[in-house]
């Protein structure tokens, strides 16, 4: 019987280039859940493209829909994705993924704070965090 790692390796090899990039990016993401807007920030694309790529991962069982446009990598899959990020991805790719995720979450916190009338959190200027696509709040 093949090991879990061998099965995950087989599924990883079935991914498109962008699908594999998302998988590796999810491995450096600080938590096991991602929404399509975080994936769009990772890919520097739009939410529609990100959703299509997440369906590719879901079809292979690498992610599970949680609610709406949010997905979860089960613990063992998240660990495998992190391993693939270290093995197949460069240090620059990992650092870039973390940077794009951080910009996305910072832009989201700025947008929510502005929506609630609190201004930019931590004194962050709005122009410093523009760029990533965000959901409608």
pLDDT score for 98: 92
Report the predicted TM-score, pTM, of the whole model to 2 decimal places. 0.83
pLDDT score for 125: 53
> Which pair of structure tokens corresponds to residue 55?
């369906």
Provide the residue-wise pLDDT of the chain in tens; the chain has 137 residues.
469 888 999 999 999 999 999 999 999 998 999 999 999 999 999 999 999 999 999 999 999 999 889 999 998 999 999 999 999 878 999 999 999 999 888 888 777 777 777 665 555 554 444 556 656 65
Question: What is the rounded distance in angstroms from the CA atom of residue 98 to the CA atom of residue 75?
Answer: 19
Q: Which residues of 2-25 are buried (b: 16+ CB within 10 A; e: fewer)?
A: eeeeeebeebbeebeebbbbbbbb
């Amino acid at each position: 019987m093949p090991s879990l790692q061998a099965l995950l390796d087989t599924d990883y090899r079935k991914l498109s280039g962008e699908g594999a990039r998302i998988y590796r990016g999810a491995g450096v993401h600080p938590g096991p859940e991602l929404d399509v807007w975080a994936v769009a920030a990772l890919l520097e694309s739009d939410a529609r493209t990100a959703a299509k790529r997440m369906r590719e991962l879901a079809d292979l069982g690498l992610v599970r829909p949680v609610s709406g446009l949010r997905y979860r990598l089960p613990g063992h899959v998240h660990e495998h994705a992190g391993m693939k990020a270290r093995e197949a991805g460069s240090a620059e790719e990992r650092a870039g993924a973390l940077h794009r995720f951080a910009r996305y979450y910072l832009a989201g916190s700025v947008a929510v704070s502005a929506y609630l009338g609190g201004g930019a959190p931590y004194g962050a200027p709005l122009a410093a965090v523009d760029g990533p696509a965000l959901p409608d709040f």
